[in-house]
Amino acid sequence: MERTEIDTRIRSLIDPFNKKEIAITQETKFTDDLEFDSLTVMDFVAAIEDEFDIIISMNQQAEIETFGQLVDAVTKLQN
């Protein structure tokens, strides 16, 4: 799957979690910009894993801070 398609699919998944309707860029930070708390992160990661049929390890999750990093990680896990 192409990175652009993964980007689009993740954007659609993030919508219900984006309560403040922040414009999503590659540099958007989940904790700072979107103000995701730990429960929201868990729910969002579960949605990503279900959508793409992948597992994102706790170590990987700890390293992903921005939307762009998430798209890159999902792209790698898909290939």
Residues carrying an active site annotation: 37
Task: Tell me the residue ranges of DSSP E strands in 1-59.
Answer: none
- Position of tokens 């898909």? 78
- Position of tokens 């969002």? 44
CA distance 68 to 76: 12
In contact, 34 and 22? CB cutoff 8 Å: yes
